[in-house]
Structure 1
């Protein structure tokens, strides 16, 4: 695959992953708002669409590293492989965000032959979904931040994109990671304004990188690392 095509595909995947992630949050929201099976069943289509967006996001995340790998390995093969692994783990950790709501949806839907829903089982699965909101999200943040560090270190040293973009990403990792850890320890929620402010710089940076790749592509490297 030519470098120009690689840049466009990767830029598109970054946009898809971000858009799908934002839509999934808007459609699903935190699981603590769910109070009963019959209420959850009323938003069947919204939950199904939200879970689909999570799967789209996970697929886009998983596709980016293999496409970028041939470019990155020219600068440091070990770090390029580390990027592939980190994003792969992140994609796996994102999947429960779709599985939990789909399980709840299945349990909240009318049962065959008129069998009643089981509120106790529903509550148990809901608690698991709420646990993911805290631990699963934070774990995925850790591997996402690791992948950002690996990718943008290579981009910064090789200058295949402007150093302003890659340097911005490196500087934005600490607040993003801090937000994930604060959520893990119960000091913030994923939907809090503070957490949004912490993740915003890196989220915007990723879109800037995506647009650069779509418009300008990848420049020939000036430094090998």
Structure 2
């Protein structure tokens, strides 16, 4: 297995890991997100803590995809490759803020409600849930559309590293997710709505395809053409300007 196949395998597995951790994390967050009185309750907070752990794994997987793909992507366009890394970092930062907001609610539930009062605790908890909602909208709901969708799909399309028809799904789906995030931000419709789900579907399909394709198949090898180089012939290190 050559170096680029190892990179594609790692990227594919990490993309699949982002699916598992994000979906399971959202399910485990159910009680804290849906129950306004959660902060006043008692008993185990294990599901929420497990959800936070899964989202921490999601952050690591997000950053991992950028790190393993960067050496390949920069052969096509170093600036866009760096932009993809930056987009992943911003997305992961927003997700991390969301994690911290929900963990703060857990802390209030465990030992803070007596100090601030029940009514105040509920208000603070609702504010933290709202913060988590905004981080989700701006991270996976906006920045991911630019990074995983538009930038990554465009670079893979240009370099012929995946079937171009599938890359077009990402090129179209990424901006749709970002535009949907803007629409939610402006109050056109709710974040959880049929319109939002419809706008998210192409990007969801693109990322799922990418995880499976890179894991099973790996990067496509572009045929050499007269007067045109191939992506794999370029060195990993950008040559110094003379």
2:202 is paired with a residue whose SS is helix
Q: Distance in 2 between matches of 1:25 and 1:194?
A: 20
Contact kept in structure 2, 1:58 and 1:94, CA below 8 Å: yes
Verify: 1:73 aligned to 2:74, yes or no.
yes
Q: Which residue of 2 aligns with 1:31?
A: 33
Change (3 A) 1:132 1:187: farther
Q: 1:177-217: per-residue Cα shift (whole Å, max 9, x none)?
A: 23222322334333333322221221121111111111110
Q: 1:129-168: per-residue Cα shift (whole Å, max 9, x none)?
A: 21331x3223213221111211111111110111011111
Q: Which residue of 2 aligns with 1:131?
A: 131
Match runs of 1:45-60 below 5 Å: 45-60=46-61
Structure 1 spans left out of the alignment, 5+ residues: none
Match runs of 1:60-99 below 5 Å: 60-99=61-100
Q: Which residue of 1 aligns with 2:117?
A: 118
TM-score, structure 2 normalization: 0.82
Q: Distance in 2 between matches of 1:188 and 1:31?
A: 19
Contact kept in structure 1, 2:12 and 2:215, CA below 8 Å: yes
Q: Distance in 2 between matches of 1:84 and 1:98?
A: 21
Q: Which residue of 2 aligns with 1:202?
A: 203
TM-score, structure 1 normalization: 0.88
Q: 1:52-84: per-residue Cα shift (whole Å, max 9, x none)?
A: 121111111011111101101111111111111
Change (3 A) 1:169 1:220: same
Q: Distance in 2 between matches of 1:8 and 1:83?
A: 19
Change (3 A) 1:27 1:36: closer
Match runs of 1:104-115 below 5 Å: 104-110=105-111
Q: Which residue of 1 aligns with 2:151?
A: 150
Contact kept in structure 2, 1:110 and 1:117, CA below 8 Å: no
- What is the deviation of 1:123? 2.0
1:109 is paired with a residue whose SS is helix
Change (3 A) 1:42 1:198: farther
Change (3 A) 1:178 1:89: same
Q: Distance in 2 between matches of 1:206 and 1:35?
A: 36
- What is the deviation of 1:47? 0.9
Q: CA RMSD in A?
A: 2.3
Q: Distance in 2 between matches of 1:164 and 1:83?
A: 21
Structure 2 spans left out of the alignment, 5+ residues: 224-228, 232-242
Which structure has the larger Rg? 2
